[in-house]
Structure 1
Amino acid sequence: MPRPASDDRQKIIIVTGMNGAGKSTALKILEDFGYEAVDNLPLSLLNRLLKTGLDSEHPEETRPIAVGVDSRTRAFSAPEFLRQVNALQARPDYNVTVLYFDCSDEGLNQRYSETRRRHPLAMDRPVQDGITREREIMAPLKASADFIYDTSGQTIHDLKRRLGVRYALQESSGLSINVMSFGFARGVPRDADLMFDVRFLRNPNYDPDLKNLTGREKAVADYVAADANFDPFFKRISDLVLFLLPLYHQEGKSYLTIACGCTGGRHRSVFVAETLGKVLEEKGYRANIIHRDATYGHPKE
């Protein structure tokens, strides 16, 4: 269905995913950004909420809306959820985005242990039973989500930075740029627009003096930069990115996520992301640097 030329549609963000993966935190962050946030709202009531806002004479009641929906929601059904989301997305006056929040089983178990909460789907059984059951229920939602946020090993500040790039309500004519390092061992970031695989660069993980450092430290940076392939590679990707940025801006793109990946996300990708971020800032772009996996244990590379 055709969309309006100027995107003045009612903005709706549906926040869903695994219990304990950060959905409530995400809703609070979106509320701080200026959204009207409602948790555990049955989708059947969403149209009533939207109609109330659109019919109001008060502008503050028509601000963007963030709605939390998950397996705890009353009468929750994955097929019905998808049907209602599809119906909302088909409306020309709504701009609907579905965010799915996930976390590793290890991370979820740790969070439940720290809070001493029981899993809502396994009140009288081990937490892992509830996590396994919930993954089965939520799988169709994850597969159809617009963006997936894996919060394993992430802090609230990390999540706020990542959400801020796409969803902060700020007047800006520029292009918001995220430069992210990650480890292929923990999966590729689903929200990446450009992705560079830097696993061909020599690996500091095999040097005992560098293994426990990250790519932000000079010794690791010098080690990776000394690879004969680094300079020609980096020149090509930086030239490509600088060529594309004004074209993306001209096209109307408001945000861009550039992902650089190595095996563990601790050494090579961190150095490349940091170096690319500095080049972009030198050229007048504001770049937000995110290291997704740099502090996650000590993965084998």
Structure 2
Amino acid sequence: MANTKHVLLVTGLSGAGKTTVLKTLEDIGWETVDNFPIRLVEGLLNTPPSSSRDDVDPPLALGFDSRTRGFDPDKLINRVKNLQQNDNYQISTLYLDCAGDELERRYSETRRRHPLALDRPAKDGIALERSQLEPFRRWADHVLDTSGLTANDLQNQIREQFTLQDTKITTVTITSFGFSRGLPNNIDLLFDVRFLSNPFWDPELKLMTGLDKPVGDYISKDPAYAEAMEKFEDMLAFLLPKYIKAGKAYVNIGIGCTGGRHRSVHVAEALRKSLHEQGFSTTVLHRNLASRPMEALENMQNLNGNKDI
């Protein structure tokens, strides 16, 4: 049973959220296929994983609805029952239900036609599809009513129920940079550390970087350093689990100083170490570490003539 293939069949009423479910499953590590011809399912199940997945066979989610070629609930149930007798497969089913008036509202808002009512009111197609799918609804392992769920609510329910153990949902990246050279793109959280003492103005440290111990020692002696780091760490310890629960795939944290070579680099490395100790997998990028130190840049934001800025 160690090599058992996990397969989830996802079906239900058109407009009930199948596309959202499949996209969420893909985000949390499932391989997903939508509207695949039913007669070809066995061949798909026997296809080895692609090399891009490092020969790790992920669980498979297959989406079906009334638009799928050859869709017949009774025949599909019999086909799945035969597959379930094979110990190589562990097959379960998810049926997405939704109240008729809510489906009508969704079709009205999106201005889409119901696939079974191209020339009739949406409610006629909804009623016909509900009748056709009733055998599958009765047989399904999981029935999820999406009537009162937002897209985010539905995503959260799917993550809670089908997230794979050890799946890394959120990628955390810390980028150090210099404000004088512009902001990085796609930053979610930004910490400005220009309030800390600036090693640039120490002749012995000027040509060093935040990766060098003397620079780190200099910065950490700033009276505000310890308290600031504690607050940064507390904020990230609070926010990152929330982002993970919400299914945010990427969290980009920016740490900025003036030139991007000293304070931001040291703080970024310190935060990486702290997050690693808390169990987060974190990547650090130093955007301006290789940039040439320039006094003109450091002076650009030194409006008060205070060389600690």
TM-score computed with the length of structure 1 as normaliser? 0.53
Q: Distance in 1 between matches of 2:67 and 2:53?
A: 32
Q: Distance in 1 between matches of 2:24 and 2:50?
A: 26
Could you tell me how far 1:35 is from its partner in structure 2?
Answer: 0.7
Give the match for residue 115 of structure 1: 110
Cα distance, 1:28–1:60 mapped onto 2, change above 3 Å: farther
Give, as a single letter, the amino acid of the residue that structure 1 aligns with 2:68.
Answer: T
Give the match for residue 260 of structure 1: none
Contact kept? 1:53, 1:61, Cα under 8 Å = no
Give the match for residue 11 of structure 2: 16
Match of 1:45 among 31, 40, 43: 40
Deviations 1:77-128 (A, max 9, x none): 1111111111122211101110000100011000000110111111101100
Match of 1:73 among 45, 68, 74: 68
After TM superposition, list the pairs within 5 Å mapping 1:208-287 onto structure 2: none
Match of 1:84 among 75, 79, 91: 79
Give the match for residue 163 of structure 1: 158
Contact kept? 2:97, 2:143, Cα under 8 Å = yes
Give the match for residue 100 of structure 2: 105
Could you tell me how far 1:49 is from its partner in structure 2?
Answer: 1.4
Give the match for residue 187 of structure 2: none
Give, as a single letter, the amino acid of the residue that structure 1 aligns with 2:126.
Answer: I
Give, as a single letter, the amino acid of the residue that structure 1 aligns with 2:159.
Answer: G
Give, as a single letter, the amino acid of the residue that structure 2 aligns with 1:130.
Answer: G
Residue aligned with 2:33, SS: strand
Contact kept? 2:20, 2:155, Cα under 8 Å = no
Unpaired runs of at least 5, structure 2: 168-309
Aligned pair count? 167
Give the match for residue 23 of structure 2: 28
Give, as a single letter, the amino acid of the residue that structure 1 aligns with 2:142.
Answer: F
TM-align CA RMSD: 1.9
Q: Distance in 2 between matches of 1:91 and 1:59?
A: 25
After TM superposition, list the pairs within 5 Å mapping 1:122-161 onto structure 2: 122-161=117-156
Q: Distance in 2 between matches of 1:147 and 1:13?
A: 10
Contact kept? 2:33, 2:63, Cα under 8 Å = yes
Contact kept? 2:34, 2:62, Cα under 8 Å = yes
The farther-off stretch of 56-65 and 138-147 is 56-65
**Quick one: percent identity of the two aligned structures?**
44
Residue aligned with 1:100, SS: strand
Q: Distance in 2 between matches of 1:168 and 1:32?
A: 9
Q: Distance in 2 between matches of 1:171 and 1:56?
A: 21
Residue aligned with 1:149, SS: strand
Q: Distance in 1 between matches of 2:88 and 2:45?
A: 11
Could you tell me how far 1:47 is from its partner in structure 2?
Answer: 1.5
The farther-off stretch of 9-18 and 153-162 is 153-162
Cα distance, 1:105–1:58 mapped onto 2, change above 3 Å: closer
Larger Rg, first or second structure (1 or 2): 2
Residue aligned with 1:123, SS: coil
Contact kept? 1:10, 1:93, Cα under 8 Å = yes
Give, as a single letter, the amino acid of the residue that structure 2 aligns with 1:101.
Answer: L
Q: Distance in 2 between matches of 1:44 and 1:159?
A: 30
Could you tell me how far 1:166 is from its partner in structure 2?
Answer: 2.0
Give, as a single letter, the amino acid of the residue that structure 1 aligns with 2:147.
Answer: S
Contact kept? 1:56, 1:62, Cα under 8 Å = no
Contact kept? 1:98, 1:145, Cα under 8 Å = yes
Cα distance, 1:89–1:145 mapped onto 2, change above 3 Å: same
Could you tell me how far 1:56 is from its partner in structure 2?
Answer: 7.2
Cα distance, 1:58–1:151 mapped onto 2, change above 3 Å: closer
TM-score computed with the length of structure 2 as normaliser? 0.51
Unpaired runs of at least 5, structure 1: 173-301
Cα distance, 1:57–1:137 mapped onto 2, change above 3 Å: same
Residue aligned with 1:52, SS: coil
